[in-house]
Amino acid sequence: MSPASNWPGIAAERFANQCREIIAPFLDEYGFRCVRDHVTPNSASLSFANGDRYVALSLSFDPRDAPHACWVILGQGSLEAGVRLERYWFVAASR
């Protein structure tokens, strides 16, 4: 597979690597630990938590989810419920 045909995967992995190398050490200073690190050929999602506070970073190039998007979600409470709710509001507001 040529690099040009795999650009979403390259971009997703690069996003995840930069989150790990740049953002994770910064958040670590404030007590946030990585609780999710998931990369696919079309997306990347990393979440950091400190107690009930969280920072979720996501990138999607999935052709089924056009337009492509990048999210930074800051929240408090349940990480799973909060990320779903924030994405719901983003989709509803962008239509």
Q: Which SS3 state, helix, strand or coil, does residue 36 take?
A: strand
What pLDDT was estimated at residue 62? 80
Q: What is the rounded distance in angstroms from the CA atom of residue 47 to the CA atom of residue 74?
A: 10
Which residue segment(s) compose the domain that 56 sits in?
Answer: 3-94
Q: pTM (2 decimals)?
A: 0.75
Total domains, the chain: 1
| pLDDT per residue as tens, the chain (95 positions) | 444 455 667 888 999 999 999 999 999 999 999 999 999 988 999 999 999 999 999 998 887 877 888 889 898 887 776 555 554 444 444 44
